C-alpha cells in the first residue's frame, strides 16, 4: 500500500526554520501617549472583539492552504523527467504540492496525487531519488491548529453569540426596571460656579432664597424661636427673568445636596413611571437630608387636575398626586426643600400652591432701571468698553428688557465689535445689539423703489402721529431696513418703567399704530399689507380695553375670561357669559362704531 501524503526521508533530520515573531516589534518604537482612563465595559468589549478577530484571522490563515491546489501546476511526469535528466537542484514537498527548483535557477510548481507518495511515484518510474535534494515540509503543527480551529472555533462563536444575546437581554431588563429611577442631577457647591453675587435685578427674590439657604445651614437659629422649616418656594415670572439662574445660585451657596430636574423628565408613556420617579427622587433627597430639589418648568406636571381629556387617572395626574403626598403628606418631610420654577402659575393646581407645600411664592418681574444697571454691570465683566459708554443711558434705553435680553444684548455687542475688528465695544455696537434683540437681525433683501417709498411713508406716518400726541413716548428710531418679519420699523421705546396704563395713553398708542395705514391712504390712495401686524396689535389692545379693562360705554365689566389655561374658550360656566346680543355690542365698541 502506498504511503499517505506524508513523505519520509530516511537518515535525514527534519528542521523547521524559526520565524520572527511579533514580540520584538511591539517592544520598540516611540514612547506611548499618556493613558486616558477607559471604562471597564469598554475594555471588556474591546478585548472580546480583539480575541474574536484573532481567532478568525488564524482560522482563515491556516485553512487557506488547501486553496493552493487550484493554482496552475506542471504535470508530475515533468518533475520526474527533470530528476532523471539531473536538472533538479531541490524539491520541497508541501503536502500534495511540489516546489521544484532547477539548477539553472528556474522554479515551477508540480502536483502529485492526493493519496500517493512522491517517492512511490519515483520508484515506479525507476528514477534514482539521489539525483536531487528532496525535503519534506513539516505540516504537523499547522494541521493540528487547523483541526483545533475547525473543531472549537464554531463552538466558540456559538457561545459568544449566546453570551451577547443574554447580555443584551439583561441590559434591556435592567433598563426596563430603571424606568422608575429619577433622572435628577445632583450638584454640589463645587460643581455650581454661580452665587448670589452673580444675580441682580431681583433683590426681593434673592433675599427670600437667601433665608432658605440660611435656614438649611443653621436650622437651630430659627427653631429656637419657634419657626418651622418652609416646605418649598415657587419662582414665578416671565421668561428670561432669572428663575433658573437663581436656582443655580442656591446650588452654589447652599452647601447641601442639590437635585435638579425638569418637569418633563418625570413623564413617560407607561402609566405610573412618573409617580415612581417622584418617589425615587424624594427618597434620594431624604437619604442626604438636608437637601434641595429644584423642579424647572413645573407646570408640565403640576397642571390643574380635571382639565385633561384623557380621564382622571392619566399619567400626569398620578405624578402630581405623588408630588403632593411627598411634599406634605402623612410622612414627615422636614429636611427636604423644594423649589419650583414656572412662567405659567395660572396652570398650577391649587393643592400644589397652597401653604404647606409651596409656602413662598417668589415673583420675579422685569427689572427696573436700577436692576438693569446692576445686570448690565455683571455682564460687562471681562469685556472692554469705550470710555463714552454710559450705563445709566443704556439702562434707560432698555426699558422692558429682561435679564436674559440684557445678557444677550451685551454678548451681541461684543460679537459686533469683534466682527468689525475693534478692540473696544462702542455705543453703536450696543445700539445695534439692542435693536437686534428686540426686532431681529437685518435682512438685506432687494426692494424696488416703489416698495421703499411705500415703507418710508408708512413709517413716517407712525412717527408723525407719535410726535404730535402728548402721551406717547419720543420716537427713538425710524428705519426702512427689514428686520425679522417687518419691512421697516418705527421704534418708540418707553422712556420710564410703567406698571399701569391709562385709557388716554392706550388710545394714543392705538392711534400711533394706525398712523402708518393712514399715511398710505393719504399719499397713495390705497392700503398695503405692511399694516397687518399694526392692525393685529391694535385690535388686541382694543378688545382688551372693552372686555377686560372696562374702558368702554358698556361699563366696568369683564365680559370675557382671561385665556389662562392656554386654550380659548375654556370649558365651564365662563364660556357662556356673553350672549349673542352683547357680543355684537362688544364688536361695535371694539371697531369704534355706534353701539
In the chain the domains, ranked by start, together with CATH numbers, are: 1-12+38-180 (3.30.720.210), 185-363 (3.40.50.300), 369-439 (1.10.8.60), 449-551 (1.20.58.760), 560-595 (no CATH)
pLDDT of residue 468: 93
Please tell me which residue, 296 or 132, carries the higher pLDDT value.
296
Q: Which residue has the cell 487547523?
A: 146
Please tell me which residue, 23 or 293, carries the higher pLDDT value.
293
As to burial, measured by CB atoms within 10 angstroms (0-12 exposed, 13-18 middle, 19+ buried), residue 7 is middle
Nearest to 568 by CA among 542, 547, 552, 582: 547
Contact 43, 36 (CB under 8 A): no
pLDDT band with cut points at 50, 70 and 90 for residue 268 = low
Please list, in sequence order, all residues whose beta carbon lies within 8 angstroms of the beta carbon of residue 284, skipping any fewer than 6 positions away.
182, 184, 186, 259
Contact 395, 373 (CB under 8 A): yes
Contact 388, 428 (CB under 8 A): no
Query: How many CA atoms lie less than 13 Å away from 115 in the CB half-sphere?
Result: 2
Q: Which of 11-25, 69-83, 111-125, 420-434 has the highest mean pLDDT?
A: 420-434
Please tell me which residue, 285 or 97, carries the higher pLDDT value.
285
pLDDT of residue 201: 85
Of all residues in the chain, the percent with pLDDT exceeding 90 is: 14
**Set of cell numbers at residue 332:** 414627615
pLDDT of residue 61: 60
pLDDT of residue 134: 75
Flag the least confident range among 347-356, 536-545, 577-586.
577-586
Q: Could you tell me which residues are annotated as the binding site for Zn(2+)?
A: 458, 462, 534
Q: Which of 226-240, 252-266, 322-336 has the highest mean pLDDT?
A: 226-240
Catalytic residues: 459
pLDDT of residue 119: 72
pLDDT of residue 461: 93
Give the DSSP letter of residue 472.
S
pLDDT of residue 566: 41
pLDDT of residue 22: 33
Backbone angles phi, psi at 342, to 5 degrees: -155, 150
Q: Could you tell me which residues are annotated as the binding site?
A: 458, 462, 534
Whether 16 shows a pLDDT value over 50: the answer reads no
Note the pLDDT tens digit of each residue in 345-360. 888 888 888 888 888 8
β strands within 413-531, DSSP E: 477-479, 489-491
Q: Which residues of 529-567 are buried (b: 16+ CB within 10 A; e: fewer)?
A: ebbeebeeebeebbbebbbeeebbebeeeebbbeeebee
Mean pLDDT of the chain: 76
How far apart (Å, rounded) are the C-alpha atoms in residues 11 and 102? 24
Note the pLDDT tens digit of each residue in 391-410. 998 998 888 898 899 999 99
Please tell me which residue, 474 or 53, carries the higher pLDDT value.
474
Read off the pLDDT of each residue in 198-224 and give the average, rounded to a whole number: 85
pLDDT of residue 64: 54
Whether 39 shows a pLDDT value over 70: the answer reads no
Whether 30 shows a pLDDT value over 80: the answer reads no
pLDDT of residue 406: 92
Rounded to an integer, what is the distance from CA 588 to the centroid of its chain?
50
Helix, strand, coil distribution of the chain in percent, nearest 5: 50, 10, 40
pLDDT band with cut points at 50, 70 and 90 for residue 373 = very high
pLDDT band with cut points at 50, 70 and 90 for residue 513 = very high
How far apart (Å, rounded) are the C-alpha atoms in residues 135 and 395? 99
Amino acid at each position: 500500500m502506498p504511503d499517505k501524503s506524508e513523505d519520509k526521508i530516511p537518515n535525514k533530520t527534519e528542521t523547521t526554520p524559526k520565524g520572527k515573531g511579533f514580540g520584538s516589534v511591539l517592544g520598540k518604537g516611540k514612547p506611548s501617549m499618556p493613558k486616558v482612563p477607559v471604562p471597564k465595559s469598554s475594555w471588556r468589549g474591546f478585548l472580546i472583539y480583539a480575541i474574536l478577530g484573532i481567532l478568525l484571522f488564524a482560522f482563515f490563515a491556516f485553512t487557506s492552504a488547501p486553496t493552493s491546489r487550484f493554482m496552475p501546476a506542471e504535470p508530475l511526469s515533468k518533475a520526474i523527467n527533470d530528476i532523471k535528466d539531473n536538472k533538479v537542484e531541490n524539491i520541497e514537498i508541501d503536502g500534495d504540492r511540489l516546489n521544484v527548483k532547477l539548477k539553472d535557477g528556474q522554479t515551477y510548481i508540480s502536483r502529485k496525487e492526493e493519496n500517493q507518495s512522491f517517492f512511490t511515484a519515483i520508484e515506479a518510474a525507476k528514477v534514482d531519488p539521489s539525483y536531487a535534494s528532496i525535503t519534506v515540509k513539516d505540516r504537523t503543527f499547522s494541521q493540528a491548529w487547523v483541526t483545533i480551529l475547525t473543531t472549537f472555533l464554531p463552538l466558540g462563536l456559538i457561545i459568544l453569540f449566546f453570551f451577547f444575546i443574554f447580555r443584551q437581554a439583561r441590559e434591556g431588563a435592567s433598563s426596563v426596571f430603571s424606568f422608575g429611577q429619577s433622572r435628577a442631577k445632583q450638584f454640589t457647591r463645587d460643581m455650581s460656579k454661580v452665587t448670589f453675587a452673580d444675580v441682580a435685578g431681583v433683590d426681593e427674590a434673592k433675599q427670600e432664597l437667601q433665608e432658605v439657604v440660611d435656614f438649611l445651614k443653621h436650622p437651630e437659629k430659627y427653631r429656637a424661636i419657634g419657626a418651622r422649616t418652609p416646605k418649598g418656594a415657587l419662582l414665578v415670572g416671565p421668561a428670561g427673568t432669572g428663575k433658573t439662574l437663581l436656582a443655580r445660585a442656591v446650588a452654589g451657596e447652599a452647601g447641601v445636596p442639590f437635585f435638579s430636574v425638569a418637569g418633563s423628565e418625570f413623564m413617560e408613556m407607561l402609566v405610573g413611571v412618573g409617580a415612581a420617579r417622584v418617589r425615587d427622587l424624594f427618597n434620594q433627597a431624604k437619604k442626604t437630608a438636608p437637601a434641595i430639589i429644584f423642579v424647572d418648568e413645573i407646570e408640565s406636571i403640576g397642571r390643574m387636575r380635571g382639565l385633561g381629556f384623557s380621564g382622571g387617572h392619566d399619567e400626569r395626574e398620578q405624578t402630581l398626586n405623588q408630588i403632593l403626598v411627598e411634599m406634605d403628606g402623612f410622612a414627615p418631610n422636614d429636611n427636604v426643600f423644594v423649589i419650583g420654577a414656572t412662567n405659567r402659575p395660572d396652570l398650577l393646581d391649587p393643592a400644589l400652591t397652597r401653604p404647606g407645600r409651596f409656602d413662598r411664592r417668589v415673583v420675579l418681574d422685569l427689572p427696573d432701571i436700577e436692576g438693569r444697571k446692576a445686570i448690565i454691570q455683571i455682564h460687562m465683566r471681562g469685556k472692554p468698553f469705550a470710555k463714552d459708554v454710559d450705563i445709566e443711558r443704556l439702562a434707560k434705553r432698555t426699558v422692558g428688557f429682561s435679564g436674559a435680553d440684557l445678557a444677550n444684548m451685551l454678548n451681541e455687542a461684543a460679537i459686533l465689535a469683534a466682527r468689525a475688528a475693534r478692540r473696544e465695544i462702542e455705543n453703536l455696537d450696543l445700539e445695534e445689539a439692542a435693536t437686534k434683540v428686540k426686532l431681529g437681525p437685518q435682512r438685506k433683501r432687494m426692494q424696488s423703489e416703489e416698495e421703499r417709498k411705500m415703507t418710508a411713508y408708512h413709517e413716517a406716518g407712525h412717527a408723525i402721529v407719535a410726535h404730535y400726541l402728548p402721551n406717547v413716548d419720543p420716537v427713538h428710531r425710524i428705519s426702512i431696513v427689514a428686520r425679522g418679519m417687518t419691512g421697516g420699523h418705527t421704534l418708540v421705546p418707553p422712556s420710564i418703567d410703567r406698571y399701569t396704563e391709562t385709557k388716554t395713553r392706550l388710545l394714543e398708542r392705538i392711534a400711533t399704530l394706525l398712523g402708518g395705514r393712514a399715511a398710505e391712504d393719504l399719499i397713495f390712495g390705497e392700503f398695503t399689507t405692511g399694516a397687518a401686524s399694526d392692525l393685529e396689535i391694535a385690535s388686541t389692545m382694543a378688545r382688551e380695553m372693552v372686555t377686560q379693562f372696562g374702558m368702554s360705554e358698556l361699563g366696568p365689566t369683564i365680559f370675557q375670561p382671561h385665556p389662562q389655561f392656554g386654550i380659548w374658550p375654556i370649558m365651564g360656566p365662563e364660556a357662556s357669559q356673553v350672549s349673542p346680543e352683547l357680543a355684537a355690542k362688544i364688536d361695535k365698541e371694539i371697531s369704534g362704531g355706534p353701539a
